[in-house]
Amino acid sequence: MERVYNERVYNEGQNRPVTAWGYFGYELLFAIPFVGLLCAFIMIFAAQNVNVKNFAKSQFCFVVILAIFVGICFGAGIFQKLFS
């Protein structure tokens, strides 16, 4: 069954587009250490808007990948060599 995206369906709750300022605000919120990670985790499960959920998921995945990368660098001693 094909779903028709007219103005009424598109602008209702779950599919409403997020503005550029909205993404900018979420980015600032997620940049706060620990609080941003907690907010991203909450938005993954509690947000009604699909776009906000997906943005929160991408931010959470970015933090996990960054933590793995930093862990590998510490394990390999790269930071010790750079700062000594």
* Mean pLDDT for the chain overall: 86
Residue 9 banded pLDDT, cuts 50, 70, 90: low
Residue 83 banded pLDDT, cuts 50, 70, 90: confident
Residue 18 carries which side chain, given as an amino acid letter? V
pLDDT tens profile 36-53: 999 999 999 999 999 999
CB atoms within 10 A of CB 52: 19
